[in-house]
Structure 1
Amino acid sequence: MSFIETFSEKGQMIAGKLQENRYVSTISEGLMVTLPIMIIGAFSTLLSSMQIEAYQNLILPIKHILALPAIFTTNALALYSVVSIAYKLAKTFNKDGLVPAFLGLFSFLVLTPVSQFKSGELTVSALTFDWLGARGLFAAMIVGILSTRLYVFFVDKNWTVKMPDGVPPTISRTFVSLVPAVLVSAIFTVVSAIFSMTSFGSFHSFIYTILQVPLQGLGGSIWSLVAALLLMQFLWVFGIHGAIVVMAVIRPIMTALDLENLAAYQAGEAMPNLVTGSFWGIYANFAPMLGLVIVLLFFTKSQQFKMLGKLGAPGALFGIHEPLIFGLPIVMNPLLAIPYIISPVVCLLIGYILTVIGILPIPIGMQVPFGAPIVLSGVLQGSWVLGLAQVLLIPVSALIYYPFVKILDKRNLEAEMTQKVADKQS
């Protein structure tokens, strides 16, 4: 077996194991389940916070209404995430997901600090949104996993109340969950008390300081993003689903960065993160493959390439690349692998440089649904300029692909002419 075949086989195995890992896939799937909530919040933020003076004057009487969905979606995403992650994990253990989902929510809330302040003669306790949004997202992931895993452990150990025969199934299932639920809630109550006595003050503050901030700092650098993109493209060349491998690791980090930007945009503040998942999506997801389509359609002579260009164009407009990756193919094609790996990185770096020098705005962190087409996906990030930038990067990618495609086009054309001669002679 050759090195390439061995690498491809091993890579497929690693990708499969990542996809099959219940904890990695649970976090990824749990966050994906919250996408409708994130989209609702993102549109609410966009509609209420668009920085156009005439528009702001127009919506002034109803601005607080337009902003209301964002308060209870984007600003409370950690709550939705802990529920969905706990539910998804319980299902992988063939357990009813509803009780673990509620337990995950309780465990998260009992760890969340409650603020107290004086209002006249009254002392008011308030659960603020400080840890319910982006800042509490990593804590939500950890709590969702741990609370559910503990619940499953106690149930599997049969630490349950068994009801006699004849008791209705609904009541019986409730009592089966009772002891594990009490034990899990007791554990997280004790954990909350322990962290309240530390210098961090709470579990959320500990996770944010020790884990989330360093990971976001690492994931939010342009070179980390370039490395992740290079790895993803490299894996695709060997027929390995690069997105599964890479996104399983970076999706939580990028989601938190996007949410911080969205919250800042809603508050009318400067967005803190330049490099986010939205940034990746704008510059690396559309122009590279559309550049290839342009070369195939207008600068090749072989019928095979022209047909593949027509077949691949509709998908490329919506960020779907598989028809070209496997149709040309790019997989196991050393010549096309070079521009395939390079072009998205070039687009990403151009976008980064133009953003740093102030020509392009920072994406607002809108959670754009998969399949949103080029231009629209840019406009939804807060500015028509981003949609225009996506279009202007297409010829850049076409120039990168052009010399490599032309070499293959010449070979294809010669093969097609030879075949035509052979067909006539026969």
Structure 2
Amino acid sequence: MSESNTRLTNLIQEKVTPIAVKIGNQKYLAAIRDGMTSIIPLTIIGGFSVLLASPPVPTGLKATNFFYSFLLSWQSWATANSNILTIPYDLTIGLLAPYVLVAITYYLTKRYKMNMITNLISVLYIFFIVASPTTTIKSVEYLPQTDLSAQGMFGAMVIAIVVIEINRFFIKNKLVIKLPSSVPEGVAAPFEVLTPMITSTILFVILNAISIKYTKSYLVGIIYLLFKPFTNVSDTLPVILLLAIIAQTLWFFGIHGDNMIGSIVTPITTLNIALNLKQYQSGHAMTHIFAGSFYTVWGGWIIYPAFLLAMILFAKSARLHSLSKLAPPGTIFNINEPLVFGIPTVLNPYFYIPGTICIIINLTAAYLLTSLGILGKFYIYAPWTTPGIIQVFISSMDWKNIVLWIILFIIDLVVAIPFVRMYDHQLQKEEQVIKN
């Protein structure tokens, strides 16, 4: 590494890395990131529920072979049992906002070492005030699902943070009802949040009333509208590429890039896949490209297998040769840490340059072909350990995504080979010096 490169690296590590780490550990962003990650199992279950209830059967399909007969039988069975099959969807994607609220509240109260259950009850109560007015239909009261679904996620994030901060302010400044120390904690804790809960009630009832008067919408609906332009912009190719390049660059400097941008990307991709799933279920055209695992499945989950195959085919150095034998089981299932830390890719231009080139090619091709309607959009979350080539099909139920994955894998391999060979040649020289 040249002296100028060394100075640049040291400067970034001294000045930029601490800032990036501080942003990654920012309490609200960390709570959102961890909270959104914890609800992924719900989105997987909800997605497969809709898939069972609404199989991907083309209009006019006839039972001309065994597979088509199976699809038509599946469709007939799903139609007869739709009310039962969609229950998991209704109670997961259909009620996503309260789960997000619970998850973020959990991580914030854990960070502050506050009583979890009393604060959680407080947050849930305030959320229902501003999210879901009861509706009476035929003398029966119902909670409308709109603001409790994915559309209410951003409102849930805001309410969780604001209410917990109000509670914390009151507790920290001892503006609470404090019972004697002899009273058991289980009895004393609810009284501790009573004063801040009353304050939050008055505050949010007033804000909600103002919102209804001037916008005809509950507060959570307004919060969603405020965030909607941001989510729309994030569903564009330039923003997707920018996020990907930022993540790649952070990885280059030894910072977990995916974690850093996760607090931004995960809420958006979760919302988008939930909206796509709702549109699919209702028979409407899906509208969001940047959904579910789109970013990862067309990014590192192609690039790292291509790097690995290039190493298997051409590596002669002891390090890469041995690594190419150890890494395949993890890489197949999208566990790329053995390659990241074994190569290593940190401060390694031989992998940063081709990785950046490949991720730009991959995301651009996938985005443009999807926007043109050639490829199906993602509407199902598959477990993240599902191999990429399988995941692109499960996520979209479109076989053409498999074809594109194979083509991009070959392109990434071609891009990776010369860089892997150059790095391998350098390692061989270093190993020869050590031997001598």
Common topology (TM > 0.5): yes
C-alpha offsets along residues 117-154 of structure 1, whole Å, 9 cap, x if unaligned? 664xx5x5432111111211111100111111111112
Structure 2 distance, partners of 1:91, 1:164, is: 24
C-alpha offsets along residues 277-326 of structure 1, whole Å, 9 cap, x if unaligned? 42212211311111111111113343432222222322221222222223
Structure 2 distance, partners of 1:91, 1:415, is: 48
Structure 2 gap segments, 5+ residues each: 1-5, 58-70
Offset at residue 174 of structure 1 (A): 2.4
Structure 2 distance, partners of 1:367, 1:215, is: 22
Structure 2 distance, partners of 1:253, 1:106, is: 25
Q: Could you say which residue in structure 2 is the equivalent of 1:381?
A: 395
Equivalent position amino acid for 1:69 in 2: P
Offset at residue 113 of structure 1 (A): 4.5
Q: Is the 8 A contact 1:8 1:238 kept in 2?
A: yes
Q: 1:126 to 1:292 in 2, by over 3 A?
A: same
Q: Could you say which residue in structure 1 is the equivalent of 2:206?
A: 190
TM-score of the aligned structures, taking structure 1 as reference length: 0.90
Pairing 1:347–2:352 present? no
Structure 2 distance, partners of 1:278, 1:165, is: 50
Q: Is the 8 A contact 2:249 2:257 kept in 1?
A: yes
Query: What is the correspondence of 1:64-143 to structure 2 with a 5 Å cutoff?
Result: 64-114=83-133, 116=135, 119=138, 122=139, 125-143=141-159
2:177 paired residue among 148, 156, 161: 161
Q: Could you say which residue in structure 2 is the equivalent of 1:235?
A: 250
Between stretches 303-312 and 27-36, larger displacement belongs to 303-312
- SS at 1:370's partner residue? coil
Q: Could you say which residue in structure 2 is the equivalent of 1:368?
A: 382
Pairing 1:401–2:416 present? yes
Q: Could you say which residue in structure 2 is the equivalent of 1:391?
A: 406
C-alpha offsets along residues 370-418 of structure 1, whole Å, 9 cap, x if unaligned? 3222233223203252344333322111011112222233344455567
Pairing 1:282–2:301 present? no
Structure 1 distance, partners of 2:137, 2:291, is: 39
Q: 1:409 to 1:215 in 2, by over 3 A?
A: same
Pairwise CA RMSD of aligned residues?
2.2
Pairing 1:17–2:41 present? no
Structure 1 gap segments, 5+ residues each: none
Q: Could you say which residue in structure 1 is the equivalent of 2:3?
A: none
Between stretches 277-286 and 20-29, larger displacement belongs to 277-286
Structure 1 distance, partners of 2:137, 2:369, is: 49
For these two proteins, the number of residue pairs brought into alignment is 416
TM-score of the aligned structures, taking structure 2 as reference length: 0.88
Q: Is the 8 A contact 1:374 1:387 kept in 2?
A: no
Q: 1:128 to 1:304 in 2, by over 3 A?
A: same
C-alpha offsets along residues 9-63 of structure 1, whole Å, 9 cap, x if unaligned? 3333123212321111111112222222222212212222221251211322222
Structure 2 distance, partners of 1:102, 1:165, is: 23
- SS at 1:69's partner residue? helix
Equivalent position amino acid for 1:372 in 2: T
C-alpha offsets along residues 180-222 of structure 1, whole Å, 9 cap, x if unaligned? 2222222222221121111252212321222x21111111111
- SS at 1:2's partner residue? helix
2:39 paired residue among 34, 37, 43: 34
Q: 1:9 to 1:316 in 2, by over 3 A?
A: farther
Structure 1 distance, partners of 2:375, 2:321, is: 34
Structure 2 distance, partners of 1:310, 1:14, is: 37
Between stretches 320-329 and 221-230, larger displacement belongs to 320-329
Q: Is the 8 A contact 2:122 2:193 kept in 1?
A: no
- SS at 2:382's partner residue? coil
